[in-house]
Amino acid sequence: MSQENEPLLGASQSDYKPVTFWSSFKATAKSSKFNWLLIFVPIAIVVSTMDVADTVVFSLNFIAIIPLAKLLGFATEELALRCGSTWGALLNATFGNAVELILGIIALKEGLIRVVQASVLGSILSNILLVLGFCFLMGGAPRSEQTFNITAAQTSSSLLALTTLSLLVPAAFSASAINDSDGGEAGILNISHGTAIILLIVYVLFLIFQLKTHTHLYEDEVDEAEVPTTTLSFSVISLITIAAFVSLHAEFLVGAIEGVVTQWGINETFVGIILLPLVGNAAEHLSSVTFAMKDKMNLSIGIAISSSLQIGLLVTPVLVIIGWVIGQPMTLFFENFETIILFASVMIVNYLIQDGRSNWFEGIMLLASYAIIALAFYFHP
């Protein structure tokens, strides 16, 4: 059985220096030029507990998230070298979405159902349009095109369509039951509860498909020259610790956004759907784009799409069920305007990724779609 500090990929034993906790720490410290910004982590935490302007809190926490995002990407890549890109992408998406789940539960307890729905929709849109757009653009700029597994891409496209269907059905039900408001609301709630359970079952089965029966579809080709520079336990501890700090800074950011947008005169819908996901998903965004630039497209798309799928198939159903338990009427019925936008966005993404190839211009199309949507929500009453 291989030891934790032995290489699993490439490099012969004679060329490989044993990896220790200290060498893992040094490799992590030297992994990025942005690490000097880590000084802002304690500064942001201290300032956020003081009575200072929201703009100061927002700025300091935003800067603090930048090096943490880079470190999260480094820890993910190290895990991918040991466990495979499938597990790496899944872990990155899971820890990234922990922020949305925690903030969603807090908001749900306070009865802020529309805020929860807006942040959920915004997370999906930012991942499939903004993140994927930057991945295609930055990864494809120095290359004619990039490739990824077409079967995995089509499976992800189908699951995105299923996620959209779970929101379209309650919207259609609401439109047809408009003359029976009491019965309509009860029906939407019952549909949402049943659909949430079904989506959770689908997500568990997708994990079996992704991690057990069809793992080969989601793996990037191994670069024999790359070997892990950190131990497995150090990578896992780093991922958990960094994700915890990202969650903390994201919470400070969310608290400061209200004051910031009041000064800027931005409406709350724009904040929930555009600004909050940008902050909450910052770590995933940077990780995914970094891997695209290294031509690790299965890992890159795995993070972006898996994150959206987790939001749609795991986070949203869990929030619906938690609302069911605590007596909050959290449903899968979003506003018609938002549901139509999600449907159109998923349709565009499906067209672009179903051939298993990408280029920089496809990235431009996704970014343009996101810009149009952001503009629409900015002016939406």
- Sorted by where each begins, the domain ranges of the chain are 13-379
- Across residues 360-371, what is the average pLDDT? 93
Strands 357-358 and 146-147: antiparallel
Which residue is associated with the tokens 């079967």? 151
Distances from the Cα of 255 to the Cα of 204, 252, 258, 316, 360, angstroms: 33, 5, 7, 22, 36
166/121 Cα distance (integer angstroms):
13
Q: Is 322 helix (H, G, I), strand (E, B) or coil?
A: helix
pLDDT given for residue 7 in this prediction = 46
Burial 8-38 (b: 16+ CB within 10 A, else e): eeeeeeeeeeebeeebbeebbeebbeebebb
Q: What pLDDT was estimated at residue 9? A: 44
Q: CA–CA separation, 74 vs 93, rounded Å?
A: 14
Judged by average pLDDT, the poorest of 3-12, 23-32, 126-135, 248-257 is 3-12
3-class SS of residue 237: helix
Rounded Cα–Cα distance for residues 41 and 67 (Å)? 9
pLDDT digits (tens, 9 = 90+) for 244-295: 887 788 778 777 777 777 777 777 678 778 877 776 666 667 778 888 888 8
Among 46-55, 64-73, 81-90, 178-187, name the one with the lowest average pLDDT. Answer: 178-187
pTM over 0.85: no
Which SS3 state, helix, strand or coil, does residue 146 take? strand
| Greater pLDDT, 302 or 283 | 302
Q: State yes or no: pLDDT of 43 exceeds 90.
A: yes
Asked if the model's pLDDT at residue 342 lies above 50, the reply is: yes
Q: Which has the minimum average pLDDT: 2-11, 65-74, 213-222?
A: 2-11
Q: What are the tens digits of pLDDT across the range 209-229? A: 877 787 777 665 555 556 778
Residue 381 tokens, joined = 């009453």
CATH pick for 13-379 out of 1.20.1420.30, 1.10.3720.10, 1.20.210.10, 3.40.1410.10:
1.20.1420.30
